Amino acid sequence: MRVILLGPPGAGKGTQAKMIIERYGVPQISTGDILRAAVAAGTPLGREAKTYMGRGALVPDEVVIGIVRDRLTEPDCHGGYLLDGFPRTVAQAEALTRMLRELGTPLPTVVSLDVAEGELIRRLSGRRTCQTCDAVFHVEFHPPRAMGICDKCSGRLIQREDDQEETIRRRLQVYREQTEPLIGYYQTQGLLKRVNGLGETGGIFARISSILERRDGQGAASQSH
């Protein structure tokens, strides 16, 4: 199963990604998570990425394309993968299409999670992340049992630097300008599936999995004939 999860910041990609990898056993490739780990470790990649991430800008295409190329060639990705947060620009999408052609693997299903902008701001500005284990909570929709403390590991909950209101607005603007054109790009290729990202996470997941299973079923059927 090969999947790209597309959608604005706050659409629920991270939550749905976790459910997809658990159900289908494919590895998750999240460029945001890889970059945050590099920032936390203070590597040269992390030091470069931090200057962009802190202000809600995109890290340069060649940097993230290199990260994804390295990751996709690892053995655990041969049977499938879930891309979350990549591609984010048409240049990244074109590089990915070339990469997959070179690797000789089928093109992924592209699931676009659609959520209106007012709702995105509400979701992102209330998000709190555990400094220790990266678990995600929300002051309104998924509050921790004790204010400011992670239910899972008792770590401190913080507001990610890029979840602060001004940076959120900047990230949404970057999404509209640089990432939204991907919807047209994948629609033209016949790979795009749009999913309403409002409602219960379980209901959204049901909509996504019915799309993915239909496509995988079709793949199996066409191979068997």
Given a contact cutoff of 8 angstroms between Cβ atoms, the answer to whether 111 and 105 are in contact is no
User: Pick from 15, 27, 48, 52: which binds ligand AMP (CB under 6 A)?
Assistant: 52
Tell whether residue 11 is a contact of ligand AMP (CB under 6 A).
no
Q: Pick the binder of ligand AMP from 88, 127, 128, 193 (CB under 6 A).
A: 88
Per-position DSSP letters for 182-218, written without gaps between them: HHHHHHHTT-EEEEE--S-HHHHHHHHHHHHHHHHHH
Give the full edge-to-edge strand order of the sheet including 192-196. 28-30, 81-84, 2-6, 109-114, 192-196
Give how many residues touch ligand AMP by CB under 6 A: 17
Nearest by Cα to 115 from 11, 206, 221: 11
- Contact between 113 and ligand AMP by CB under 6 A: the answer reads no
Q: Which of 2, 50, 123, 127 is catalytic?
A: 127
Q: How is residue 65 written in tokens?
A: 């394309």
Contact characters 140-179, ligand AMP, x per CB under 6 A: ----------------------x--------x--------
Q: Can residue 56 be called a binding residue for ligand AMP (CB under 6 A)? A: yes
Helix (H/G/I), strand (E/B), else coil: 121: helix
Structure token pair of residue 51:
């200057």
Q: Does 85 sit near ligand AMP (CB under 6 A)?
A: yes
Residues with catalytic function: 13, 88, 127, 160, 171
| Chain positions contacting ligand AMP, by CB under 6 A | 9, 31-32, 35, 52-53, 56-59, 64, 85-86, 88, 92, 162, 171
